[in-house]
Structure 1
Amino acid sequence: MSERTDSTTTYRRLLDPAVRANPYPIYAQVRAGGPFRIGTAPVVIVSSHADCTAMLRHPNASVDRSLTRVQLETMPMLASSATEDAVRQSKPSFLFLDPPDHTRLRRLVSKAFTPRVVAQLEPRISAIVDDTLDRVAVTGTFDVVADLAYPLPVTVICELLGVPLTDEPQLRQWSSLLARTLDPTSRTATEHQADPGELQAAGTELNAYFEDLTRRRRGNPGPDLLSQLIAAEDAGDTLSHDELISTCALLLIAGHETTVNLISNAILALLRHPGHLAALRADPEQAAGVIEETLRYDPPVQMIPRIAAAAMRIGDMDIDRGDLVLMLIAAAHRDPAVFTDPDRFDPTRDNRHLAFGLGAHFCLGAPLARLEGRVAVTRFAQRVRSPGCAIDPPPYRAHVNLRGPAAIPLDFAEITPRQ
């Protein structure tokens, strides 16, 4: 077996649900082999910290799916033909746009996510976490994912968008399904693909939901982000209707799916490292380090795709125009060339992770995700006494890219009253 074939075979093992609980040994094997092509396909895999950083910063690295030579039906993360309605390929969200369109749309939305505006949400976020822990104290049972990691970000993003919380269960189902479109798959791994028909239905229904909500907000605007986007003007520019709908869908999915994983992965790491949990309980200022290390050690987004808008060279790999370059940032985050003892969870380390990307597409929601994560782990450490995983490793969701536990059942002594 050639080295290239061996690397491809190893990479495809990441698609197997059986490795979801701990894919990092596979990432290490892929990284050790260096960048490679998947067979004769126009797909390049890079996994070292240096190569991923270079790709994220390269001026020819594009997010415009129309440039790719990859057959889209084999790459749902670039929007398959079966999910065109789901992602509104004719008017994609700014996640899939290059400047100047990306700059225009991001500028309109970014006003709601500046560090100053996000900081004002801290009292509300703290109240949501404390309310959640109060309910757990009454029931006596605690699933970190269902009872804390999920309710917090979905409540925040629903309140920001002006989505009624009564609609949350349906939105959760659509969002979870559509998050699968960000998973890499191939025809050689069809047994791990999501059902295209189910994805298309979820996308159509989610778009219809926001169509209806937008109609209602136009007639009765409120203080929410959706109303602000409808009325938004920046240098005389506004969101078109299709752009508005696709942006709402993006904010819903990106605004909570990734943060659910961040909170779940952070608390799971603390449960497995009780010394760090005790240190956080004694000093809440350590919460920022816990979140940054979680973003490196067990990132909620494992892979980032880019498309070569022109020929380029990354490391010792020549990349052709139209090639899809898949950056395995979960592998890059454990690169021993950058991180000392990379498989050790260490919230005190100097972190240079790539979890939020780099450059023009640096994650718009990073300040909000960081704040939600810090508040969640701090209040968990302060109020939950003697916690321990009832099942370790816990069950994981099917997602390859937006990877996180499906549940973390918890044993605990008590939930102390809020202060």
Structure 2
Amino acid sequence: MRRALCCSCPDKLGHRKYRSRQTRCARAIGSANAASPVAALIQTRTRSGRPTDLASPRLRSPTLIGSPERIIKPLEFRPDTPAFLADPFPIYRRLQDEDPVHWSPRLKSWVLTRYDDVKRVCLDRDMSSNRLEPFFATLPGPEAARIGEIIRFLSIWMVFRDPPDHTRLRRLTSKVFHVKSMHAMRPAIEQILALLLDRIGARTDVDFIQDFAGPLPALVIMEMLGVPHSELDRVKRMSDEMALFIGSSRTSQEKYDVAQAATKEMADFFRQFLNARRAEPQHDLMSELVHLRDGEDRLSEDELIATCILLLFAGHETTTNHIANGLLSLVRFPAELRALREDPSLAAKAVEELLRYDGPSSAQVRVVKVRHAMHDKTLQPGDRVFMMLNAANRDPRAYDDADQLQLRRDGVPHLTFGFGLHICLGFPLARLEGQVALPAIARHWRRIELAAPETAPEWINSMVFRGMQSMPLKVER
């Protein structure tokens, strides 16, 4: 099914330099005061009688975790501040201890941080994933028209659908995008990895995201779909611009306009490929999707385009963060980095622990369908619920020494890919890419250090994704 890759051909990576996150359109446009659409996803009416934040008089005066003698101010959950983006885990711990079902006035949403609560909501069919349509329905006609392509295609994404729509879309897509087809990508992953390391060569100054963690998963999913590698720069630009709607924590009409144009461009991009595959099938995922049948059922034209956009976008954005966050964690725990370098058989366990310790997805969002009681709170129909995945993965109620990286850890599975009905369809591919890439990186460079260890990395300002804008390293063979 897979096309061969030529390890000796640098042009497989495209002629233009991979686009750094430092030059993303989000940075050029800047942010506005309006809340975003994962903002979009969360804007609902304020309800009377709820605690406004952890300053509620019903709560005890908190102390800083690890420093019981130091009294600090009551917590305000502000997920877009530089301090929170750099290290959200102290705030998560206080929420877990003091207000595990927290009403955030800023988000107009509930925020869950404990492992068992997040897992419970993941499994609850009375918590809806259909959170875009309610937002789109609130838009005045002219505003809806301005993001017509976004509405048209993102509304079809299975991640934003409930059964029976979700069941049908996932059943059809899983017939061709399945564990066996993903595992068959290992040789391609290894070859792309070798090409990227060859391009880095003997350089000792590396931006790990620009030079490796960004291109690797993008090229892997492009290879799987059948998109030429020469389109890498364009694919990344379109994806970054779509992320202004999907993942930005702050937004503006300008950002919506950019995301709308990118969605239309990507739809036209895939429409041309799909038409070509109808006329002349190839050995790639797009051809299989076009010719997919399940009895009388098949994907419509818009469903085909939406599925290709979803696979391309989701297939590399979170995996970039997974690989980069994973290496950052290893650099910060040198003994664990040495252990992985010396024992590649640790790869599978190491990847699971790295996904738990600082995963690539900050949150998933649900909408309450029926009245729920959680702890001492009541969640009403229409309420938004943020399930903080990375918080759940560091819950000391689920993990011993939760804030320590332990590559040989056994026990409770992490929730990074979600759980239950909406568990990430492509998680076997993301796992595989980490299992191939991270041990190879550990062996390839005997010295891996942050270029400016005294300076915290600049993190993407997102409520959904957890990743860095860039990751400058000093490396030696």
So what's the TM-score if we normalise by structure 2?
0.78
Distance 1:276 1:338, change over 3 A: same
Q: Is residue 190 of structure 2 the alignment partner of residue 126 of structure 1?
A: yes
Provide the C-alpha distance between the structure 2 equivalents of 1:381 and 1:349, rounded to a whole number of angstroms: 19
Kindly provide the amino acid, as one letter, of the partner of residue 110 in structure 1: S
Displacement of 1:84 after TM fit?
4.4
Provide the C-alpha distance between the structure 2 equivalents of 1:176 and 1:66, rounded to a whole number of angstroms: 20
Provide the C-alpha distance between the structure 1 equivalents of 2:382 and 2:388, rounded to a whole number of angstroms: 19
Provide the C-alpha distance between the structure 2 equivalents of 1:184 and 1:45, rounded to a whole number of angstroms: 18
Aligned to 1:76: none
Secondary structure of 1:402's aligned partner: coil
Provide the C-alpha distance between the structure 1 equivalents of 2:291 and 2:244, rounded to a whole number of angstroms: 32
Provide the C-alpha distance between the structure 1 equivalents of 2:427 and 2:188, rounded to a whole number of angstroms: 18
Aligned to 1:85: 149
Q: Is residue 442 of structure 2 the alignment partner of residue 376 of structure 1?
A: no
Distance 1:338 1:16, change over 3 A: same
**Aligned sequence identity (%):** 36
Aligned to 1:29: 94
Displacement of 1:346 after TM fit?
1.5
Kindly provide the amino acid, as one letter, of the partner of residue 31 in structure 1: Q
Q: Is residue 118 of structure 2 the alignment partner of residue 52 of structure 1?
A: yes
Aligned to 2:400: 340
Q: RMSD across aligned C-alpha pairs, in angstroms?
A: 2.7
Displacement of 1:216 after TM fit?
2.4
Q: Which has the higher helix share?
A: 1
Match of 1:61 among 95, 104, 127: 127
1:244-283 matches, cutoff 5 A: 244-283=304-343
Aligned to 1:96: 160
Displacement of 1:111 after TM fit?
3.1
Kindly provide the amino acid, as one letter, of the partner of residue 20 in structure 1: L
Q: Can you list the C-alpha shifts for 1:85-141, whole angstroms capped at 9, x where unaligned?
A: 225268511111112221111122123443222222112211211221122124444
Aligned to 2:226: 162
Displacement of 1:160 after TM fit?
1.0
Indicate conservation of the 8 Å contact 2:77/2:104, yes or no. Answer: no
Provide the C-alpha distance between the structure 2 equivalents of 1:64 and 1:199, rounded to a whole number of angstroms: 20
Provide the C-alpha distance between the structure 1 equivalents of 2:105 and 2:201, rounded to a whole number of angstroms: 54
Secondary structure of 1:357's aligned partner: coil
Match of 2:470 among 396, 407, 411: 407
Q: Is residue 386 of structure 2 the alignment partner of residue 326 of structure 1?
A: yes
Distance 1:314 1:181, change over 3 A: farther
Q: Can you list the C-alpha shifts for 1:32-62, whole angstroms capped at 9, x where unaligned?
A: 3221333498632211111111111112111
Indicate conservation of the 8 Å contact 1:179/1:402, yes or no. Answer: no
Secondary structure of 1:4's aligned partner: coil
Provide the C-alpha distance between the structure 2 equivalents of 1:179 and 1:321, rounded to a whole number of angstroms: 28
Indicate conservation of the 8 Å contact 1:68/1:324, yes or no. Answer: no
Indicate conservation of the 8 Å contact 2:245/2:256, yes or no. Answer: no
Match of 1:390 among 435, 446, 451: 451
Displacement of 1:394 after TM fit?
2.4
Secondary structure of 1:256's aligned partner: helix
Provide the C-alpha distance between the structure 2 equivalents of 1:328 and 1:395, rounded to a whole number of angstroms: 20
Provide the C-alpha distance between the structure 1 equivalents of 2:113 and 2:221, rounded to a whole number of angstroms: 32
Indicate conservation of the 8 Å contact 1:46/1:325, yes or no. Answer: yes
Aligned to 2:51: 4
1:170-185 matches, cutoff 5 A: 170-183=234-247, 185=249
Displacement of 1:257 after TM fit?
0.1
Secondary structure of 1:348's aligned partner: coil
Displacement of 1:287 after TM fit?
1.4
Indicate conservation of the 8 Å contact 1:37/1:44, yes or no. Answer: yes
Indicate conservation of the 8 Å contact 2:111/2:386, yes or no. Answer: yes
Displacement of 1:373 after TM fit?
0.5
Indicate conservation of the 8 Å contact 1:60/1:312, yes or no. Answer: no
Secondary structure of 1:387's aligned partner: strand
Indicate conservation of the 8 Å contact 1:157/1:252, yes or no. Answer: yes
Aligned to 2:257: 197
Aligned to 2:104: 38
Aligned to 1:109: 173
Which 5+ residue runs of structure 2 have no aligned equivalent? 1-48, 56-73
Distance 1:284 1:58, change over 3 A: same
So what's the TM-score if we normalise by structure 1?
0.88
Match of 2:300 among 240, 251, 254: 240
Secondary structure of 2:162's aligned partner: coil
Aligned to 1:13: 78
Aligned to 2:19: none
Displacement of 1:312 after TM fit?
2.4
Match of 1:293 among 339, 349, 353: 353
Indicate conservation of the 8 Å contact 2:360/2:466, yes or no. Answer: yes
Secondary structure of 1:92's aligned partner: coil
Indicate conservation of the 8 Å contact 2:52/2:103, yes or no. Answer: no
Distance 1:143 1:72, change over 3 A: farther
Indicate conservation of the 8 Å contact 1:284/1:378, yes or no. Answer: yes
Displacement of 1:411 after TM fit?
1.3
Provide the C-alpha distance between the structure 2 equivalents of 1:91 and 1:411, rounded to a whole number of angstroms: 43
Between structure 1 and structure 2, the one with the greater Rg is: 2
Distance 1:69 1:209, change over 3 A: closer
Displacement of 1:323 after TM fit?
1.7
Secondary structure of 1:299's aligned partner: coil
Which 5+ residue runs of structure 1 have no aligned equivalent? 74-78, 415-419
